[in-house]
Chains A and B, each alone.
Chain A
Amino acid sequence: DTGVSQNPRHKITKRGQNVTFRCDPISEHNRLYWYRQTLGQGPEFLTYFQNEAQLEKSRLLSDRFSAERPKGSFSTLEIQRTEQGDSAMYLCASSSYRVSTEAFFGQGTRLTVV
């Protein structure tokens, strides 16, 4: 297994456009998390899936944000009508139910809204 994979690594979009990011977790991990990291700050929790069920969403996740994990494997994070304030690094992490204290992170998708 090559770890958590995120695509694309970089995305530049114009304000008002929609963007979608993909995360492929470690194959045997049933838990998947999305975080957002802005410059000079630590990652902030956005949402969490256990298998295909989205069990928690942060209030940071406005109505313009939606995340899915349709078959309990890969996940997508979509941002509609992007704003300049959405510019950030979007991180995905996964963990195993059996070893729930350790999350493995992908390298992230850097979004720039111009």
Chain B
Amino acid sequence: GDSVTQMEGPVTLSEEAFLTINCTYTATGYPSLFWYVQYPGEGLQLLLKATKADDKGSNKGFEATYRKETTSFHLEKGSVQVSDSAVYFCALSERSRAGGTSYGKLTFGQGTILTVHP
């Protein structure tokens, strides 16, 4: 079945440091890929997404590129802020065929806790 593996955490960085959180996936079809973020005391929020190979998702300075050849979707940010401290989840949603729609069921990784210090 489908699965998502995230790098072991937690991650602790100083403000303005470069961030990478690794994510790899296993899927049989044509998944869409997502990063969700969960700030303290809040619900999961979609951070960015990519629906096909070589797509780059970006939002709030975060980026991730859909790499089919390495089955990866690593999250990066050039300069983190204290306000980026949160739990980050990589996820996928299967589609029946390339370009097809998905009914939205998500398979999540285990999450990576990011703490950014001033």
Q: How many A-B Cβ pairs are below 8 Å?
A: 65
Interface membership of B44, Cβ < 8 A: yes
CB-CB contacts below 8 Å: A45-91 with B: 45, 48, 50, 55-56, 91
Tell me, rounded to whole Å, the shortest Cβ–Cβ distance linking B29 to chain A: 14
- By a CB distance below 8 angstroms, the chain B residues around A107 are 42-43
- Interface size class for chain A? 20 to 34
Contacts A33-B104, A41-B111, A48-B103 given: A101-B93 contact, CB under 8 Å? yes
Binary flags per residue of A3-35, CB closer than 8 Å to B gives 1, else 0: 010000000000000000000000000010101
Check if B108 sits within 8 Å of A43, measured CB to CB. Answer: yes
Q: How large is the interface on B (under 10, 10 to 19, 20 to 34, 35 or more residues)?
A: 20 to 34
Whether a CB of chain A sits under 8 angstroms from the CB of B91 is yes
Q: Is the CB of A45 within 8 A of B107?
A: yes
- A103 adjacent to chain B (CB < 8 Å): yes
Residue-wise interface mask of B (88-118) relative to A, using a CB-CB cutoff of 8 A (1 in contact, 0 not): 0101010000000111111111110000000
Residues of A within 8 A of B77 (CB): none
B17 within 8 A of partner (CB): no
In the complex, what residue of chain B is closest to A94 when comparing beta carbons? B104
Q: List 16 A-B contacts (CB under 8 A).
A: A33-B105, A40-B110, A40-B111, A41-B110, A41-B111, A42-B91, A43-B89, A44-B108, A45-B106, A101-B49, A101-B101, A101-B102, A105-B36, A105-B44, A105-B45, A108-B43
The residues of B with any CB-CB pair to A shorter than 8 Å are 4, 32, 34, 36, 42-46, 49, 51, 89, 91, 93, 101-111
Would you list the 10 A-B pairs with minimal beta carbon distance, nearest first?
A: A42-B108, A105-B44, A107-B43, A95-B104, A105-B43, A100-B101, A101-B32, A42-B110, A43-B108, A100-B104
